[in-house]
Structure 1
Amino acid sequence: MGDPDTRKVMKIGFLILAMLFFSVPVPAMSGTGTKYVGSIAPGGTDTFRMSFGIGPNEDPSDISVQVMGFGQSMDTGFVPVDPANDTNPYSARTFISLDNTTIHLKPGMTQQVTATITLPKNVGPGGRYAIIYVHSIPAAGGQATIATAVVIPVLITVSETQPSLTGSIENVNVGDLTAGQPVIVTTTFRNTGNYHYRYTINSVTVTDSNKNILATGTTQPSENSVIPGNTVQYIVQPEVKNLPEGTYTVDSKVLRENGQVLDEKASIFSVKSNYVPPVTESSITLTPGSAGTLTSPDGRYSISFPQGAMLGDAVVTLKPYSHDKLPSAPTDAGLGATCFEITGLSGLLSKDATVTVTYSADDLTGAGGDTSKLKLSYYDAAQNAWVILPTQVDAGKTTLTTTTNHLSVWAVMISSSTTGSATSGSTPGTAATQSPLSLTVIIISLIIAGIMVKRSIRKQE
């Protein structure tokens, strides 16, 4: 059977092959007729057919088909509502009947279900709405199965009636302003009419106390219809520049695609310390034979690369990073307000780059006014740890400077330490000296293992 090393290589190779080729298949249900949009007169009837199937290699499955109320999540997603909780006056749930509520799907075959919609003569004007909810039934004996579900929206226009297209903005909220993070305006809107509308748009305008326009922002047209009786939210990030301390106004409008304003509402917000926007994404192309400096358009961030820092040509990019996505700070430190990301290199630099960042008033507040606690740090994903670097502080220029050979997610850290500290759930350690294992390395390792397995087999033959 060969020497011990060969047997070891063969075992590793077969384990790799098993991981690659013996994964568990995930069943999936497909269908046609997965939406109904039509007009029916009061007292009229219409039908539509739905077809469902699974792939030829899937396991047989029992499927339940139910008529539910039409709910909607805040992000406009469609949500089935249990009949016991379906109190929407525009519900069509009781107007729909199905010729089959349980079907058995066999591999490679399809089953059909026909829905019949019958509107009462006194149905009223506008639209009526329901969801046909199609989902897998757990196997007998309570065995765990991978759930498969399809939501089929039913949107009925009651013809020969007059729809009412009205809406109400219930709230306009400007989230907490944090230096280096975007301004987020959330508008909560309710369809108060009797008819749905698609492609709604939310437009916001930020003005100062003199009514000067400082920034605007608009959502993309919503693909999902807003259903009567439901409430949704629109989120806009207007490109606000620096905001000195003061009072400001955000005006929010919800419009139909034809420009009709459904509602408009203004909200006043205060800035208690000077606000600065997130870093603007910018890039630089670096070569081994030349030095280069990547600087943000506003000059608040810069990374200087010496000649020879790169082993090959690379495009290095400075990007904004969401503060709420940062890994937790070490137990003996705290996250400041400023964070960003530097991408473009899978490994380490050959020579250290110099990173200079302008710290914000929020960073300084977090440090209790003590600039010596402001440190630049990067997150080492391989070690699951923040690496807190020795940092030079220039209080006059309000800058932090350090050197590094690591491109990653960065943040201003509030700490008295200058050594790496682990995040919660991992073992504390010092600064990381290696980068995360890249996909390329994994692929190469798999290829090498495969070659070694083949060679060992040939030797045995």
Structure 2
Amino acid sequence: MRNFRSESRMIGIIALCLLLVLPAAVSAIGVTGSKYVGSIQPGGTDIHNMTVTIGANDNPTDVLVEVYGFGQNIGQGYAAVTQANDVSPYSARSFITLSTSSFHLEPGAAQNVDATISVPANTGPGGRYALIYIHAKPSKGASFTTAVLVPVLITIAGTPPTVTGSITNLSVGEVTVGQPITVTTTLKNTGNYHYYNTVNTIAISDATGNLVGNFSTRPAIYAIIPGNTVHYTITPELQNIPAGTYTVDSKVLLESGTALDEKTTTFSVKTNYIAPVTESNITLTPGSAGTLTSPDGRFSVSFPSGAVLGDAVVTLKPYAKDKLQAAPADAKLGTTCFEITGLSGLLSKDATVQVTYSADDLAAAGGDASQLKLSYYDAAKNAWVILPTQVDTGSRKLTATTNHMGVWAVMVSSSTSGKGGILGLPLPLTVILASLIIAVFITGNRGGKRK
């Protein structure tokens, strides 16, 4: 009884500690009038009306309203700039005064906030920009606050806008077999006016000038603000292309189709490029075997009957090499990696995984295919498990069996770490050993006295 009371008391203490460390609930702020786009004459004034609300089931909330400079991160998203750092000649931060800078909201309540925009008489041409930052006042114990950024985009009426842009950089990421190729175009708004719905297009050609493919982004959802620099990123869906030198021609287009700027660069493909695995899936049932195979046949996972205890949709998908955890000290990563998802735990029976290794994998092994191993990342142990792997140099196939799915990679290693079972014993012997241990434990406890 004493043990039961002690454990109950400990559980109570743990629950109390959890309550103390959990962050306080935060209400979700809503704003109508969440953007201002207007034209104002130099010396003129306009008023932007906003209504701030929280839900009927939210907590009472203290709200702050502040005016910041209009910044933009490299991914095009808006970023508030403090007064000390707001040095843009196109800033409208000082033009704006608020009817209130703080207030309290009860659940379901609303508060009107007016932003008066007064444009100085000597304001130059183009556009002027600011952000109104509406957010919950941080409270003790809260790990985050909800917030809304209200963009203010002012056209100075009667003045000519200058709509220009310059591509300052065009780069192609590392070309690796089985990994996507990334083309990044960097654009600076060199004019005095913003533009919406810009599109980046690229054309890739081989050394003889033959077109390999045209690709483009979707129209940008953010305005590109004067003075800011942003990225456009395209992952062209290239299939198998031979080794050689290729040219990329990049353009950034306005909504009208007019090109802001154009730039070209070249990149090299050292070995025949193979595209990343195409996502595919299979529905497994307990009573049936099934094989999940990539469309190009480079990857396959064969599940025996009884591998799953309930229906499961298992998916084979690409995985970015730069997201892989580092290899063990005595091994190194190849270039081939992928992910198998859809299983909440281990398989009841081992599956057979087969992968075609690439020329880059072989190069990573110094040309010795016997060093190539299949491996998976065990997130629970924060470690790679390198499996015993059969190597067929004729078909360039790697084959291994396991009951664990998840993130996989081809590894270069002279040893393995995954042997299955306990103490390296095969799974059937592991079950027998576990049964003997349990039997000994039960027998030993029958002769003991209860306390």
| Alpha-carbon distance in structure 1 between the residues aligned to 2:141 and 2:289 | 59
Q: Which residue of 2 aligns with 1:94?
A: 94
| Alpha-carbon distance in structure 2 between the residues aligned to 1:289 and 1:150 | 52
| Alpha-carbon distance in structure 2 between the residues aligned to 1:117 and 1:15 | 53
Q: Which residue of 1 aligns with 2:175?
A: 177
Q: Is the contact made by 1:27 and 1:146 (CA closer than 8 Å) also made in structure 2?
A: no
Name which of 140, 149, 153 aligns with 2:151.
153
TM normalised by structure 1 equals 0.81
Q: Is the contact made by 1:169 and 1:263 (CA closer than 8 Å) also made in structure 2?
A: yes
| Alpha-carbon distance in structure 1 between the residues aligned to 2:19 and 2:337 | 38
| Alpha-carbon distance in structure 2 between the residues aligned to 1:17 and 1:146 | 18
Q: Is the contact made by 1:172 and 1:186 (CA closer than 8 Å) also made in structure 2?
A: yes
Cα distance change of structure 1 residues 337 and 124 upon mapping to structure 2, 3 Å threshold:
same
Larger displacement relative to structure 2 (66-75 or 362-371): 362-371
| Alpha-carbon distance in structure 2 between the residues aligned to 1:128 and 1:413 | 54
- In structure 1, what residue type is equivalent to 2:102? I
Cα distance change of structure 1 residues 282 and 57 upon mapping to structure 2, 3 Å threshold:
closer
- In structure 2, what residue type is equivalent to 1:245? A
Q: Is the contact made by 1:376 and 1:402 (CA closer than 8 Å) also made in structure 2?
A: yes
| Alpha-carbon distance in structure 1 between the residues aligned to 2:425 and 2:160 | 69
| Alpha-carbon distance in structure 2 between the residues aligned to 1:29 and 1:343 | 33
Cα distance change of structure 1 residues 6 and 272 upon mapping to structure 2, 3 Å threshold:
same
Larger displacement relative to structure 2 (287-296 or 71-80): 287-296
| Alpha-carbon distance in structure 2 between the residues aligned to 1:430 and 1:215 | 51
- In structure 2, what residue type is equivalent to 1:247? T
Name which of 408, 411, 419 aligns with 2:409.
411
Cα distance change of structure 1 residues 19 and 432 upon mapping to structure 2, 3 Å threshold:
farther
Larger displacement relative to structure 2 (198-207 or 71-80): 198-207
Q: Is the contact made by 1:419 and 1:431 (CA closer than 8 Å) also made in structure 2?
A: no
| Alpha-carbon distance in structure 2 between the residues aligned to 1:99 and 1:408 | 54
Q: Is the contact made by 2:205 and 2:211 (CA closer than 8 Å) also made in structure 1?
A: yes
Q: Which whole-Å deviations, capped at 9, do the CAs of 1:70-90 have from their partners, x for residues lacking one? A: 111011111122233323222
Q: CA deviation at 1:390?
A: 0.5
Q: Is the contact made by 1:358 and 1:399 (CA closer than 8 Å) also made in structure 2?
A: yes
- Number of residue-to-residue matches in the alignment: 420
Q: Which residue of 2 aligns with 1:120?
A: 120
Identity of counterpart residues, as a percentage?
Answer: 58
| Alpha-carbon distance in structure 2 between the residues aligned to 1:165 and 1:430 | 68
Cα distance change of structure 1 residues 330 and 252 upon mapping to structure 2, 3 Å threshold:
same
Partner SS for 2:84: helix
Q: CA deviation at 1:233?
A: 0.4
- In structure 2, what residue type is equivalent to 1:321? Y
RMSD, matched Cα: 3.2
- In structure 2, what residue type is equivalent to 1:407? M
| Alpha-carbon distance in structure 1 between the residues aligned to 2:164 and 2:338 | 42
Q: Which residue of 2 aligns with 1:353?
A: 351
| Alpha-carbon distance in structure 1 between the residues aligned to 2:84 and 2:98 | 19
Q: Is the contact made by 1:419 and 1:430 (CA closer than 8 Å) also made in structure 2?
A: no
Q: Is the contact made by 1:380 and 1:432 (CA closer than 8 Å) also made in structure 2?
A: no
Cα distance change of structure 1 residues 349 and 158 upon mapping to structure 2, 3 Å threshold:
same
- In structure 2, what residue type is equivalent to 1:197? Y
Larger displacement relative to structure 2 (5-14 or 118-127): 5-14
Partner SS for 1:275: coil
- In structure 2, what residue type is equivalent to 1:223? I
Q: Which residue of 1 aligns with 2:225?
A: 227
Larger displacement relative to structure 2 (307-316 or 275-284): 307-316
Gap runs ≥5 in structure 1:
422-428, 434-461
1:26 aligns with 2:38: no
Name which of 221, 226, 235 aligns with 1:237.
235
Q: Which whole-Å deviations, capped at 9, do the CAs of 1:87-126 have from their partners, x for residues lacking one? A: 32222223223344x3232434544432211223442332
Cα distance change of structure 1 residues 137 and 254 upon mapping to structure 2, 3 Å threshold:
same
Q: CA deviation at 1:137?
A: 5.7
Partner SS for 2:328: coil
Q: Which residue of 1 aligns with 2:59?
A: 58
Q: CA deviation at 1:286?
A: 3.3
Partner SS for 1:369: coil
Q: CA deviation at 1:261?
A: 2.2
| Alpha-carbon distance in structure 2 between the residues aligned to 1:430 and 1:21 | 44
Cα distance change of structure 1 residues 66 and 285 upon mapping to structure 2, 3 Å threshold:
closer
Q: CA deviation at 1:132?
A: 2.1
Q: Which residue of 2 aligns with 1:439?
A: none
| Alpha-carbon distance in structure 2 between the residues aligned to 1:153 and 1:167 | 21
| Alpha-carbon distance in structure 2 between the residues aligned to 1:156 and 1:388 | 59
- In structure 2, what residue type is equivalent to 1:410? W
Cα distance change of structure 1 residues 333 and 432 upon mapping to structure 2, 3 Å threshold:
farther
| Alpha-carbon distance in structure 1 between the residues aligned to 2:338 and 2:63 | 49
Q: Which residue of 1 aligns with 2:246?
A: 248
Name which of 259, 262, 266 aligns with 2:257.
259
Q: CA deviation at 1:69?
A: 1.7
Q: CA deviation at 1:6?
A: 9.0
Cα distance change of structure 1 residues 430 and 195 upon mapping to structure 2, 3 Å threshold:
farther
Q: Which residue of 2 aligns with 1:71?
A: 71
Q: Is the contact made by 1:46 and 1:116 (CA closer than 8 Å) also made in structure 2?
A: yes
Q: Which residue of 2 aligns with 1:314?
A: 312
Larger displacement relative to structure 2 (23-32 or 273-282): 23-32
TM normalised by structure 2 equals 0.83
Q: Is the contact made by 1:377 and 1:386 (CA closer than 8 Å) also made in structure 2?
A: yes
Q: Which residue of 2 aligns with 1:368?
A: 366
Cα distance change of structure 1 residues 311 and 50 upon mapping to structure 2, 3 Å threshold:
closer
| Alpha-carbon distance in structure 2 between the residues aligned to 1:257 and 1:430 | 63
Q: CA deviation at 1:13?
A: 9.3
Q: CA deviation at 1:11?
A: 7.1
